[in-house]
Amino acid sequence: MKYIDEFRSGELASGLAAAMRRDASPEREYRFMEFCGGHTHAISRYGIEDLLPPNVRMIHGPGCPVCVLPIGRIDQAIRLAREQGAILATYADTLRVPASHRLTLLRAKAQGADIRMVYSTSDALSIARAHADREVVFLAIGFETTTPPTAVAVLTAAAEGLRNFSVLCNHVLTPAAMHAILAAPGGVPLDGFVGPAHVSTVIGSAPYEPFAEDYGKPVVIAGFEPLDVMRAVHMLIGQVNDGRAVVENEFTRAVTRAGNLRAQALVAEVFELRESFEWRGLGTIPASALRLRPEYAQFDAERRFTVPYRAVADNKACACGEILRGEKRPQECKIFGTVCTPENPIGSCMVSSEGACAAHYTFGRFREAAA
Amino acid sequence: MCLAIPAVVVELLDGDSAVVDLDGVRKQVSLALVEHIAVGDYVIIHVGFALQRLNVDEAEQTLALMRQLGSDALGGASAIGALP
């Protein structure tokens, strides 16, 4: 595939690996967090850790929307489908996230709830048009990449006067989560971030500048292909060696400083900041998520139905919280790969293919076995 | 979740949408989030929406830089050739 295969070249990867070996100082350790699950997945899938110098360590971040969605949010969606009789439309990623009472959306569906997987928000709108006598709720999750399509759906529904469509909004914000990680007392020590790929196509590179300026942490925005990640780590090594901390952009083919202004305007039209939002693993973070503006209240499932959010504690044995904060590696969780597997996930990090646990289970653990 | 892939626009449709081609797979996507897209442009597709135009020149420059970096680091002995 054009503009994908080139960025997976093994030949270029060995060259970049040599450049990193040459430039990484053996005198020190380098600890970089890749914020995004997309990067976590690429690092595991392509064995990038094997190509890094031994003193460069990648720490997995919380940038996996499925992983940071707390149990109580999935419970809300299940209650909408079961108690309100709504058709619940959602992306595939959320269907297997563990909820309360050993339920998932998929199990609730098997028990009769009308839950439907959609590829796009436009599919959710089509369901609403085809079932004018039913309430159709779109369970919206995701970072800034996935928010603009939800905004377009709300605006389309408003323009069409679609009265039976609403959104259960769980859109969250990347910079707020990065701030939470850096501000956490006793948090994991970091020398820099591999910054988001497609989030940054929307918000641009400017929102990361405070992390460089205020926290002195280098940020290098990187695409999701393996060469992108390697080049970004190489750029981070360079910044650390030089004692610099600035925002650099490896993903220039898709990211500008300002980002996608049209998408930003649509998001601002439909959404406003929530005062706070509970994240799995990171706790309640102020101004870290979005809700619909009052002008679009009729499309806001939380206003339209009585399904208050109730916080639910995670399974005690599950270390998703520590893993999402970068404090533990997946293999350090007691139930990793035994009780908790991708077929039977206990924690959310084992659900999505970009979750740190699922990525390590699928690819990384074989490295350990071979070592 | 944030995964997105580049695909080439092969036909513009009414209603702010387009048909894109990804190695022979054709799909209709929304252009509601982007502006001034033409047939032949590469766009980055996420959940049925074009998120951004892919800057082809920047892509080539990034690859050229990666090739150069690798070639320098390997001491030029095994200079990395152009991709097919």
Task: Enumerate residues 6+ apart whose C-beta is below 8 A from A255.
Answer: A197, A200, A201, A204, A205, A221, A249, B52
pLDDT tens track for A94-124: 999 999 998 999 999 999 999 999 999 999 9
Taking residues A266-282, what's their average pLDDT? 95
Q: Residue B75: its pLDDT value, please?
A: 83
CB A27 within 8 A of CB A21: no
Q: Residue A41: its pLDDT value, please?
A: 93
Whether the per-residue pLDDT at B84 is higher than 50: the answer is no
| Shortest distance, CA B80 to any CA of chain A (angstroms) | 7
Give the CB-side neighbour count of residue A329, counting CA atoms within 13 A: 11
For residue B30, give the CATH number of its domain: 2.30.30.140
Neighbours of A116 (CB within 10 A): 17
Q: Residue A47: its pLDDT value, please?
A: 93
**Spatial distance between the Cα atoms of A30 and A241, rounded to a whole number of angstroms:** 10
| Shortest distance, CA B60 to any CA of chain A (angstroms) | 9
Q: Please list, residue by residue across B49-71, b when 16 or more beta carbons sit within 10 angstroms of its beta carbon and e when fewer do.
A: bbbbbbbeebbeebbeebbebbb
Q: Residue A315: its pLDDT value, please?
A: 86
Q: Residue A2: its pLDDT value, please?
A: 92
Q: Which of B4, B51, B69 sits opposite A19 (nearest CB)?
A: B69
**Spatial distance between the Cα atoms of A9 and A13, rounded to a whole number of angstroms:** 6
First to last CA, chain A: 33
User: Within a domain: residue B39?
Assistant: yes
Taking residues A316-345, what's their average pLDDT? 92
Give domain limits for chain A. Answer: 1-318, 320-360
Q: Alpha-carbon dihedral of residues A155, A160, A161, A162, nearest 10 degrees?
A: -80
Residues of A in contact with B62 (CB under 8 A): 231, 250, 252-253
SS3 of residue B28 by DSSP: strand
Its domain, for residue B10, covers 5-73
Q: Residue B76: its pLDDT value, please?
A: 62
pLDDT tens track for A121-158: 999 999 999 999 999 999 999 999 999 999 999 999 99
Q: Does domain A1-318 have CATH number 3.30.1180.20?
A: no
CB A32 within 8 A of CB A248: no
Whether the per-residue pLDDT at A21 is higher than 80: the answer is yes
Give me the residue label for tokens 């893993």.
A323
Token pair for A251: 């993903």
CB contact under 8 A, A145 and B61: no
Q: Residue B83: its pLDDT value, please?
A: 46
Q: Residue A281: its pLDDT value, please?
A: 86
User: Within a domain: residue B83?
Assistant: no
Q: Residue A369: its pLDDT value, please?
A: 64
| Shortest distance, CA B45 to any CA of chain A (angstroms) | 10
Q: Residue B82: its pLDDT value, please?
A: 46
Give me the residue label for tokens 């206990």.
A346
User: Within a domain: residue B79?
Assistant: no
Q: Is B83 exposed, middle or buried (0-12, 13-18, 19+ CB in 10 A)?
A: exposed
The mean-pLDDT minimum among A2-11, A188-197, A352-361 falls in: A352-361
The mean-pLDDT minimum among A27-31, A184-188, A232-236, A311-315 falls in: A184-188
Whether the per-residue pLDDT at A308 is higher than 70: the answer is yes
This prediction has a pTM of 0.94
Token pair for B56: 């082809």
Look at chain B and report how many structural domains it folds into.
1
DSSP-derived secondary structure for A246-309: -EEES-TTT--SS--HHHHHHHHHHEEE-SEEEETTTEEEET-BEEE-GGGGGGBHHHHS----
What ipTM was assigned to the predicted interfaces of this complex?
A: 0.92
